[in-house]
Structure 1
Amino acid sequence: LSSQIDVMHIQECGVYACRDYLGLEQVNSADSAFRKRVHRRVHLRNDASIGPSISAPIDDECRFKMSKWCYQVVDHCGFDRECVSIAMSYLDRFLATDAGEEAFLSRKTFQLVVMTSLYTAIKMMSKESMSPSFVTAVSGGSFTERDITNTEVIILSALEWRVQPPTALSFIRHFLYLVPQDDASLTVINFIFEIARLQVELAATNYSLITTKPSTIAVASILNTMDIMDEECLPGDLRHVLISILEKHGAVNIWGEEMWDLKNKLMTDIANNSSHQVQGIAARMISTTMKSKRANENLGMSPKSVDDEFHSVFENYVSSISGALQTEGGFTEYS
């Protein structure tokens, strides 16, 4: 398992790394062609904001909407939700290439690329797959079967057939597999896995996290889950085992400010999300206490202020769950 995790770390930092193709942050890539491509895209987006006469290229909101659509499709069809994370990896890496330029400029082409990425991810990851005709149907007839199959070839060629990215969820699995069997009941491990999974699924919809390594997101999601589990739910010896595993295999400083910021971002995403389907989780979380030893010990916050802050987030989270929206059906067209 340790060697597998090491390979996954190499992959996520190498051929499967995602880059900021929208240029929302300062681009420091050594790839001069990529820098020029991003700078050109930034100018195009700025020009489009001047007036309606210029067609607007895609933005992070387009990606967010289509990633939500992907979750709706896999939920409706009963496919593994991890397929969406894999599809987003295809999408993000494709859009960072020259071949993705048309998808950046045309929102309709972008939709086609997202749908094809999901179609390909499901085909690669599931025993059953979607047919091109089904994708055509759920697009409302916007695209033909040939559109799907031709776009798939373009995407796979641009990605050089690298179609098995290490996902945040796969890192969570591997980290939890390292917990000795005697140290935790299956119920506790399943609880940690489910709450961590919820966080990484939401992270897959957030463009601002595409350059964050999947392993780092996995570590943050597990730490957040541990924070909401009191001593009765997560005994001290098991907590120590988990911390040791994350310190040894997470390839990140779990006590650093970057990790602290990421943990907060993941929890904020949960608290602010009202449409994610998380039935059954709220009831189990209500019985836990949301705390953060990291904030208490290293940020100079009093125990009361820590509890107040995280209980506020927790209350928003439970409220968002209880008021979750019904899954929207159909294909959403946006201009």
Structure 2
Amino acid sequence: MMTLLDSLYCEEKHQWEDDEEEPVGSYSCVDNHPQHTLLEHDLYWEDQELSSLISKESDECFDNNGHISPSANHRREAVEWMLGVVSHYSFTALTAVLAVNYLDRFFDRFGGLESEKKQQQPWMTQLAAVSCLSLAAKVEETHVPLLLDLQMEGSKYVFEAKTIQKMEILILSTLEWKMNPVTPLSFLDYITRRLGLKSYLSSEFLKRCECLLLCFLPDGRFRSYLPSVIATATMVHVIHSVEPCIGNEYESQLLGILGINKEDVEECWKQIQEITCSRNGGRHFNKRKFGAVPGSPDAVMDLSFSSDESWSVENPSVPSSPEGGAKKTRKGEA
């Protein structure tokens, strides 16, 4: 099978240069991806994996028909707080995605945030956010801060450890202890392996997709899309931002791999564009100028990602390794 972005491979190590002025609302994520060194693909195993992901992903979709509920602001504040803590402690993107997933599933099954009692007690949302983030960190991270330290990043309320632990038990029971859901990151990881992406550049491409995903996590409208749709729209946005001239062809190949609806992907992509444009004043990647555009998509991507010149990124920019924020030294309470 012809690999989609095989031309991303390059022996030399290049970096994406982040714009000096970070846009408001950008979040840090850490590059914890091992370099892909697959020499051959077990297509049967990959097809089985894809079938499993697709069969499970419907459980992670929330049918709100794009409706923004009165509690949308509460959710946004909670998610933005969690992302701030993720950035502060240099947690992985998966930790952030899991925490938001737990929060959405918990309130969806626990009756949401709409009741008068919940509206009058905004601390309940904060308590749930702290507990969901704590659970996600325990699932994904090697080192987890103490529960008190976890609340130091812009928290409106500070809860005792025993209170958070009780909420964790309630969340676990409400979610039936299903703490390894299918997420957009599941499909991003699958696609990069299926396409045979390898070496440092594949890790950079995947990290760029993850950082973009973190930027629109606070927007509750994306809850209505399947994880596979969000993952595909995210990759399409990154590819189109780098080289629009070959974006459509790669979009078709991505849709072919996953077998998902093109209209759903384009609708999701439009919302991603809306968010990134409003946040960054419509700015996009600064592309280097070519004397002549190569004839094939692979050749274009090869020049785009493997050139000796670095990129200046003006889409939601995320530092690859924030300094001074990592405090992953103490283990949290069990």
TM range (shorter): 0.5 to 0.7
Q: TM-score with structure 2 length normalisation?
A: 0.64
Per-residue CA deviation, residues 245-271 of structure 1 (Å, 9 max, x unaligned), is x223324223x2x32221121122122
Q: How is 1:135-174 mapped onto 2 (pairs within 5 angstroms)?
A: 135=150, 137-138=152-153, 139=155, 142-174=158-190
Among 180, 202, 218, the alignment partner of 1:205 is 218
Distance 1:2 1:143, change over 3 A: same
Report the Cα distance in structure 1 between the residues aligned to 2:173 and 2:145, rounded to whole angstroms. 21
Report the Cα distance in structure 2 between the residues aligned to 1:3 and 1:261, rounded to whole angstroms: 28
Partner Cα separation in structure 2 for residue 140 and residue 147 of structure 1: 16
Q: With CA pairs under 8 Å and 6+ residues apart, which has the higher RCO, 1 or 2?
A: 2
- Within 1, Cα distance between the matches of 2:231 and 2:315? 25
User: Matched residues in 1 for 2:152 and 2:286: separation?
Assistant: 41
1:68 aligns with 2:80: yes
Structure 2 unaligned segments of length 5 or more: list them.
Answer: 1-45, 290-312, 326-334
In the alignment, which of 260, 284, 287 is matched to residue 252 of structure 1? 260
Secondary structure of 2:261's partner? coil
Q: Work out the CA distance in 2 between the residues paired with 1:89 and 1:133.
A: 22
Structure 1 counterpart of 2:104, which letter?
A: D
Q: Does 1:130 align with 2:145?
A: yes
3-state SS, counterpart of residue 264 of structure 1: helix
Q: Does 1:318 align with 2:314?
A: yes
Alpha-carbon distance between aligned partners in 2 of 1:78 and 1:132, rounded to the nearest angstrom: 16
Deviation at 1:114, TM superposition (A): 0.7
Answering whether residue 66 of structure 2 is matched by residue 2 of structure 1, we say no
| Number of equivalenced pairs | 248
- Quote the residue 2:287 is aligned against: 287
Give yes or no for contact 2:255–2:261 (8 Å, CA) kept in 1: yes
How far, CA to CA, are the matches of 2:266 and 2:251 in structure 1?
A: 17
| 2:15 alignment partner in structure 1 | none
Q: Which amino acid aligns with 2:269?
A: K
Counterparts of 1:65 and 1:82 in 2: how far apart (Å)?
Answer: 19
Cα gap change, 1:99 to 1:266, in 2 (>3 Å): closer
User: Are 1:13 and 2:58 matched, yes or no?
Assistant: yes
With over 3 angstroms needed to count, the CA separation of the structure-2 counterparts of 1:152 and 1:227, relative to structure 1, is same
Gaps of 5+ in 1: 27-41, 46-58, 275-280, 290-316, 330-335
Q: Which residue of 2 aligns with 1:195?
A: 208
AA aligned to 1:250 is L
Q: Does structure 2 retain, via aligned residues, the 8 Å contact 1:123–1:129? A: yes
1:179 paired residue number: 195
Q: SS where residue 180 of structure 1 aligns?
A: coil
- Could you list the per-position Cα deviations for residues 44-65 of structure 1 after superposition, in whole angstroms to 9, with x for gaps in the alignment? x6xxxxxxxxxxxxx1112112
In the TM superposition, residue 241 of structure 1 has moved relative to its aligned partner by 6.7
Deviation at 1:206, TM superposition (A): 0.9
Greater fraction of residues in helix: 1
Distance 2:99 2:170 in 1: 15
User: Which of 47, 61, 67 is equivalent to 1:25?
Assistant: 67
- Is residue 147–residue 161 contact of structure 2 (8 Å, CA) maintained in 1? yes
How far 1:194 sits from its partner (Å)?
Answer: 3.1
Aligned equivalent of 1:108: 123
Q: Displacement, 1:173? A: 1.5
Measure, in 2, the Cα distance between the counterparts of 1:24 and 1:247: 23
Equivalent residue of 1:228, what SS? helix
* 1:226 equivalenced with 2:239 (yes/no): yes
Q: Paired residue for 1:271, among 260, 277, 285?
A: 277
CA distance in 2, matches of 1:2, 1:17: 22
Q: Which amino acid aligns with 2:258?
A: G
Distance 1:195 1:320, change over 3 A: closer
Q: Residue 220 and residue 241 in structure 1: after superposition, are their counterparts in 2 closer, same or farther (change >3 A)? A: closer
Tell me the TM-score normalised to structure 1 length: 0.63
Q: Partner letter of residue 255 of structure 2? A: E
Tell me the residue number matched to 2:296.
none
Q: Which residue of 1 aligns with 2:103?
A: 91
